[in-house]
Structure 1
Amino acid sequence: MAPKRIGAGRESSILAKISNSEIVSQGRRSACDAVYVSKKLLRSTGKAAWFAGTTVLILVVPLIIQTERDQMLGEIEFQQASFLGPTPAGVLQ
């Protein structure tokens, strides 16, 4: 048989008293509450970031497309003008 340690039962009862104490229970509740609030904060922050990102896409992408379209039309007009030659002096544009 293995020899018994002296005071082993006393150590486990002290640990049991500490882990069942009110301050430890209150600490656990506080930690759980902090985790709950953190999760809600991260979730709402993620939703806000998604909303802001989609709003930017909805507002900015059409402007970029319009700018590119205008640039392409300008290039096409320049190419057509170079093919047709200079405009006569009496023609209004």
Structure 2
Amino acid sequence: MINMPEKHEAEGHHPKWLSCLADLNHASEPMVDALEDQDGVLRLAENVWQINFHDNPGAFARLISCAMHHRLTYGILQLKEAPVWHPAAFRPKPR
């Protein structure tokens, strides 16, 4: 999870957040897919991703690197086992 800077009502999202998303979605190298299009990555919310570190440690590194580059704070929740989603609740779907 990357902590989003506060929104400005009249201006929308903070420029730091928009720059970070642009970097995650449009890699500087043409051979690299957008973060959420990579294997092992699920975007759960606007600022929350589930990344299978064992399958794609590069995606994890890219997310943390991008947050640090744009001076955004972040949090990491380590799961020991695969998440179990409540049947009536939100259930992310891999691309």
Query: Is TM more than 0.5 here?
Result: no
State which structure, 1 or 2, has the greater radius of gyration over its C-alpha atoms.
1
Q: Which has the higher helix share?
A: 1
Higher relative contact order (CA 8 A, sep 6+): 2
User: Shorter-normalised TM-score: what interval?
Assistant: under 0.3
TM-score by length of 2: 0.22
